Amino acid sequence: MLIIDVIDGKSTKTVTIPTDWEDMTLNYWCGIHKIISKYRKKEEFAKNIGEKDSETPNLQQSTLDFLKQRDVIQMNKEIFQYVADVSKEDIDFVDLGEAMKVIGAMNIFNEEYEPKGLKSFEINGKTYLFPKENLLDNTFGDYIEATQLEMNIESLTNGYYEVLPEQMAILCREEDEEYDEERVAEKTEEFKKLTMDTVMEFSFFLTKRSLLLADTLEMYSVEKEEEGVV
C-alpha cells in the first residue's frame, strides 16, 4: 500500500493507494479496468482509421502517436482521480510528484500475474475450496455452466472480470457443500468483494483446467475415431 496526502477542497486528506493485487477488491479493480478499456477502444478505433488512409502513412503515424500520448496522459489522470478519490475540481491542483508516484507504484498491474497455487479462500468467516484439479467434485454440467458465462463477455462493461464471481459461485464451495443453484446469486454478490489476488488465482486455475479438458476431449475423440476405423 502507498499512503499519500491529496487536496480535498480547501484542505488535504490522506488516502491509501493499492500497489498489489491483494490490496484491492474485484469491485475496486473493475473501476480501474473500465477506465483502461475506454482508452484501449479509442486507440483501436484511431488505429483502424489510420490503416484506411494509405495515402499519407507518415502523417497518419505521427497523428496516432500524438493521440496515443495524449490519451495515456488523460487515462493516468482519470486513474489517479479514481484511486485517490479526488474530485474533478481538485484534480488539476494535485501535486505532480505525488501523482507520478502513484502511477509508478501501480505499474505492477501491467505485469502478468504470478499464481501462488491457492487452494482455498476465506470471506465473511467461511472457507471456500477451489475445485479439485480433476474437477471430480463438480459435474460436467457445473463446468459447462461456469464456462458458458464467458460467451457474452464482449457485451459486458468489464468483460471477463464480470463473470468471474459467478463462475466462482458455481465451482467454489465449502467443505461438503452441494451445488445449490438458488445460492449462486447470493454467493456471486459476496465474491465481488474478494481481493484480486484470489480472483486471479481462480482465473489462472480455470484457464489451466479448460485447456487440459480440451486436450483430454480431443485425445478421446481421436481414440474413438481410430477404434471406428479398426
Q: What is the dihedral of CA 78, 108, 121, 85, to 10 degrees?
A: -20
State how far the Cα of 43 lies from the Cα of 1, in Å rounded to an integer: 30
pLDDT of residue 86: 87
Sort 197 into a burial class: Cβ within 10 Å, 0-12 / 13-18 / 19+.
middle
Rounded alpha-carbon distances, angstroms, from residue 163 to 11, 38, 84, 110, 219: 40, 19, 27, 21, 29
> Burial code of 104-129, b = ≥16 C-beta within 10 A, e = fewer?
ebbeebeeeeeeeeeeebeeeeeebb
Return the domain boundaries, the chain: 2-110, 120-229
**Could you tell me the three cell numbers for 162?**
464480470
**Could you tell me the three cell numbers for 126?**
467461511
- Output 112 or 56, whichever has higher pLDDT: 112
User: What mean pLDDT is reported for the chain?
Assistant: 75
- CA angle 171-201-124, nearest 5°? 65
Q: Say which range, 19-23, 183-187, 193-197, 226-230, has the weakest mean pLDDT.
A: 226-230
| pLDDT tens per residue, range 29-87 | 888 888 888 888 776 766 665 555 555 555 466 666 766 778 888 888 888 889 988 88
Q: Which amino acid is residue 51, in one-letter code?
A: E
Is the pLDDT at 196 greater than 50, yes or no? yes
The residue among 136, 139, 132, 199 whose CA lies nearest residue 167 is 199
Share of the chain above pLDDT 70, in %: 67
The residue among 33, 28, 34 whose CA lies nearest residue 16 is 28
| pLDDT tens per residue, range 115-165 | 888 889 999 999 998 876 544 455 545 555 555 545 544 444 445 677 888
State how far the Cα of 24 lies from the Cα of 43, in Å rounded to an integer: 27
What is the distance of C-alpha 20 from the center of its chain? 13
CB–CB of 146/206 below 8 Å? yes
